[in-house]
Amino acid sequence: MSRLVYINGEMVPSEQATVSVFDHGLLYGDGVFEGLRSYSGKVFRLQQHVRRLYESAHAISLTIPMSPAEMCAATNHAVAANGIQDGYIRTIVTRGAGTLGLDPNRCSDPKVIIIADSIALYPEELYEKGLEIVTTSVIRNHPAALSPRIKSLNYLNNILAKLEGLKAGCVEALMLNHKGEVAECTGDNIFLVRDGTLLTPPLDAGILGGVTREAVVEIAGRAGIEVLKVALTKHDIYVANECFLTGTAAEVIPVVKLDDRSIGLGKPGPITLDLKAQFHELTRS
């Protein structure tokens, strides 16, 4: 099905949506992106996603050729132009076309691309029964090398971890940081429930500050559930009462096994299910 893709102010049929082979986004992964969700035609937490996009761009000295307000308007336009109700939006900003050398100063005309399409979720069965995941040997990027808080077009770190998880028969995999602490999964943040308290790694564990993650923290706070952002190890997951992941596409999904070890009772727990239901209500009310 053909879609209309936003490229630098124009809506272009998807089969005609192209960028230069000299674009440094293609050559070097030099650019940033955001993944967003729409529910009933409305983009969920659009301003938070756009804020993070601009922060990522600023961190790599990439000037986005439009204001945040214009970016929000363009995103809404792309969703409406494609008639998207419940869908997924990918916003991309590349460095633009340059030379075959690394020098970003030789690039011109950064590209802003917005793709609005249908959403591919995990199978419903996994939300009911829970995920089984493994710990990958691929550690999260060292924050002094490439900050995981920058949502860059270079996702090879995550892809290598994803490949290892898939080879083990798991659709997600847990990544540790350079200190051996729990960071996040290849595309999702992680939460534990221990004695009624919610635990999740802090930003300095080398994670992306997920928008869905923060929404769940807010929901938990309103429900009177204490949330601690603390350093965690695999042991903490093994002995947790419950575990779940959060992400734009995943929303809230239970985890029932890590490294073939059952977590809690080996099935989605009550706090996980309650937070999942409350997030569903938040996004669809």
Active site residues: 151
Give whole-number Cα distances, 252 to 128, 189, 280, in Å.
11, 10, 9
Q: What DSSP letter does each residue of 48-95 carry, written as one string?
A: HHHHHHHHHHHHTT---SS-HHHHHHHHHHHHHHTT-SSEEEEEEEE-
Q: How many residues does the chain have?
A: 285
Q: Output helix, strand, coil percentages for the chain, rounded to the nearest 5.
A: 30, 30, 40
How buried is 101 (Cβ within 10 angstroms: 0-12 exposed, 13-18 middle, 19+ buried)?
exposed
Closest residue by Cα to residue 137 from 119, 157, 109, 164: 164
Residue 202 to residue 183: CA distance in whole angstroms: 8
**Residue 175 Ramachandran class (φ > 0 left, ψ -120 to 50 alpha, else beta):** beta
Residue 97 corresponds to which amino acid? A
Q: At what angle do helices 68-81 and 46-59 cross, to 10 degrees?
A: 130
Residue 231 to residue 217: CA distance in whole angstroms: 16
